[in-house]
């Protein structure tokens, strides 16, 4: 997933009131990606740049980030570039997250944004509640798993019956469905999920 840079944000560790409009000069790259509910941070310190420890900050508000990790000791190298990878294995579910690095006393990096689109803790989720014109069903399976999905009304009418769906995210147009309660069942190799949602107009 591509990341979006949010430049020029104020931060408590910043020395300059205007914040940073570009990446920290000690860094030749800083990227954040999400894969199946795990967020990975990758960055490279340019040759000749060092710092005493690196703090990793995270938050759902780019102006209010809190520390979630620390790399101790001297970072970087005076002779060659040094690349780092840090994994956030337990991010919040289904949110936009912002990350920043604090390079010791040398100040902060830019802020990087990533959307966590996979379930991490819940086995399944229905969004929104209640449903109006569109419902999204989420199941905790990887993007390569084949899914079958069945949706029926309380009167027993089959509203949807689809097989060979790839991945655990399914969005259904309910704009022409009658208001009421609907039941769903999803099945895949090694597992299944079921539940209900209410459509209102």
pLDDT digits (tens, 9 = 90+) for 27-74: 999 999 998 778 999 999 999 999 999 999 999 999 999 999 999 999
| Together in a domain, 138 and 87 | no
Angle at 171 between CA 167 and CA 174, to 5 degrees: 150
The last residue of one of the domains, among 85, 115, 145, is 115
Residue 171, pLDDT score? 92
| Residue 144: both structure tokens together | 């390569």
Structurally, the chain folds into a number of domains equal to: 2
| Together in a domain, 59 and 109 | yes
| Together in a domain, 110 and 141 | no
Rg of the chain over Cα atoms, rounded to whole angstroms, equals 22
How many other CB atoms sit within 10 Å of the CB of residue 20?
20
pLDDT digits (tens, 9 = 90+) for 91-103: 988 889 999 999 9
For residue 48, give the CATH number of its domain.
2.60.40.10
Give the whole-angstrom CA distance, residue 55 versus residue 84: 13
pTM: 0.64
| Together in a domain, 14 and 95 | yes
Residue 116, pLDDT score? 84
Give the whole-angstrom CA distance, residue 15 versus residue 37: 34
| 90: containing domain | 4-115
Give the whole-angstrom CA distance, residue 27 versus residue 111: 13
């Amino acid at each position: 997933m591509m990341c979006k840079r949010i430049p020029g944000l104020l931060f408590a560790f910043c020395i300059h009131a205007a914040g940073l409009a570009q990446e920290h000069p000690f860094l030749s790259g800083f990227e954040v990606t999400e894969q199946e509910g795990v967020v990975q941070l990758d960055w490279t310190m340019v040759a000749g740049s060092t710092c005493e420890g690196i703090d990793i900050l995270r938050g759902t508000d780019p102006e209010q980030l809190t520390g979630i990790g620390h790399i101790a000791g001297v970072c970087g190298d005076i002779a060659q570039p040094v690349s780092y990878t840090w994994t956030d294995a337990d991010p919040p579910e289904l949110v936009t997250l912002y990350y920043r690095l604090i390079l010791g006393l040398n100040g902060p990096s830019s802020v990087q944004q990533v959307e966590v689109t996979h379930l991490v803790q819940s086995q399944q989720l229905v969004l929104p509640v209640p449903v109006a014109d569109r419902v999204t069903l989420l199941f905790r399976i990887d993007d390569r798993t084949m899914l079958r999905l069945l949706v029926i009304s309380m009167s027993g009418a089959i509203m949807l019956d689809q097989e060979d769906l790839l991945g655990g995210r399914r969005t259904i147009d309910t704009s022409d469905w009658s208001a009421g309660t609907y039941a769903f069942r999803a099945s895949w190799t090694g597992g299944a999920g079921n539940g209900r949602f209410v459509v209102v107009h």
